[in-house]
Amino acid sequence: MEFLLLLSFLLFLVVLVSIFLKKQKPQPAAGNHPSDEQIQLLPPGRTGLPLIGETLDYFSKLRNGVLWTFAAERMKKHSTKVFRTSLMGQPTAILCGPEGNRFVFSNEKKLVQVWLPSYFDKIFPKVDNTASGVASPNTEQTKLIRKHLPAVLKLENLIHYIGMMDTVMKQQLHTEWNREIIKLVPTISKFTLRLACRFFLGIEDPKKVDELAIPITDVDKGIMSIPINLPGTNFYRSIKASKVMRDKIQLTVRQAKIDLREKREPERPSLLTHMLLTADENGQLFNELFITNHVYGMLIGGYGSVTSSLTFIMKYLSELPHVYDEVLKEQLEIAKSKEQNEVLNWEDVRRMKYSWNVAREALRLMPLISAAYREVTTDFTYAGYRIPKGWKLHWMAKATHENPDYFPNPKHFDPSRFEGTGPQPFTFVPFGGGPRMCPGNEYARIVILVFMHNVVTKFRWEKLLPNEKVVHTAVPTMAHGLPVRLHPHKQ
């Protein structure tokens, strides 16, 4: 439905623009157009239809889970280094291969800055810590938040939460994994949402966690949907759900402020607690709305991406018994070293080397961050071509993840790719890279390994829908929730 609406609207625009261009033949004003020499220096490629560019092909491939072929086809036709296109009305250059990834990641805040399509503002409103309330991803307040986030999400802080994560997972096994047949996607979602609410918001009340379950799912579905704000579309529902979530989170922020004033601090501070205690360079604490929006964004990231990763790890382990057996062997060795009811700790997680290789191979095939944009802040030359200021850069993780030049037989699931020195630098980029690398990468790693330990040491499982399709929204998921039959191990 959404795709047909967009197609009809864009085709209508094309007709109007074509009629207008036929009637209007203005002479170019002096200095307003690049010279022939400058045009020749632009990257090879095509801009597609007026206004639309190549957006339809892009969204089509995104919906079908083959976005990387958008780049692969054009690399073959135009250049293996860089090519130009037009996406969502924006002139765009796509830098290819690990060299392109390296260039984008290493030039953050130098030649490029983060950029998101304007429709993202409807789901993730920009709120500054100033009286104006207007912000962008590059404001000083936002930069300060990103400066403090790594402290909260650093490994030395996260290791203190491993016991809590293990306890939550064991509780989930008791309450949610006690049936022969379960749907993995909603079951995993309950676990990741409960953890995210505890870590990012300090919420432990199951009822309050459940109140966020439906809106957070609706937000997730709308993030990479076609941006048509009409009733019945994922984008429309996502905007409505975003408002519901932010209202609920703002109430939590207010209660947390009261708790801090009355010295009722939690045993393990949440991200929210850290933000409430953080001041800017002028000693000013962040305002309530600013904190609400940033915690909301982190909650979305800490929920959907980890849920997706765990879903596909479970999928691959059910399909590949030899890989499952090796994971089970490693995890049983760790389990045998523990006293009864003793929770996992950092030393246990460090021993899960093969399990993490399995997780990384799953992330190679289904990355947390499939693609991202940057905006060019100053003209530069790349591979002999001029990239003008104002253009957008676009990189795709799978452009290297599924390239046989870097990962031979790329469709084959092979955890041994990550043994020794592992893949070539900047070819494996599931968390992005550089200053804008996903700040929750260590959080995701620990959650994934704690989950794998608990599930693998309790069960084998088999898929009930062998040919179930993958659905691509903000992150990939399974069309029918990945129903499985659990086979508990004999004690």
C-alpha distances (whole Å) from 149 to each of 201, 346, 381, 443 are: 14, 21, 33, 12
Residue of 306, 303, 305, 358 whose CA lies nearest to 329: 358
DSSP tag of 160: G
Q: Is 438 annotated as a binding residue?
A: yes
CA-to-CA distance for 196 and 425, rounded, in angstroms?
30
Tokens representing 355 are: 């399990």
Are 183 and 482 in contact by the 8 Å Cβ rule? The answer is: yes
Residue 146 CB neighbour total at 10 angstroms = 14
Q: Residues 6 or more apart from 137 whose CB is under 8 A from it?
A: 113, 114, 115, 116, 126
C-alpha distances (whole Å) from 373 to each of 139, 246, 328, 367 are: 17, 25, 39, 16
Residue 98 CB neighbour total at 10 angstroms = 19
Tokens representing 220 are: 């997730």
Backbone angles phi, psi at 121, to 5 degrees: -60, -25
SS3 per-residue string spanning 388-430: CCCCEEEEECHHHHCCCCCCCCCCCCCHHHHCCCCCCCCCCCC
CA-to-CA distance for 399 and 331, rounded, in angstroms?
33
Write the burial class of residue 99 (CB in 10 Å: 0-12 exposed, 13-18 middle, 19+ buried).
Answer: middle
Token pair 């944009």: residue:
373
- Say whether 323 sits in a helix, a strand or coil: helix
CA-to-CA distance for 235 and 215, rounded, in angstroms?
12
Tokens representing 31 are: 């200095």
Are 142 and 136 in contact by the 8 Å Cβ rule? The answer is: yes
CA-to-CA distance for 184 and 203, rounded, in angstroms?
23
State the first-to-last Cα distance of the chain, in angstroms, to the nearest integer: 50
CA-to-CA distance for 158 and 406, rounded, in angstroms?
32
List, as residue ranges, the binding site. 438
List, as residue ranges, the binding site for heme. 438
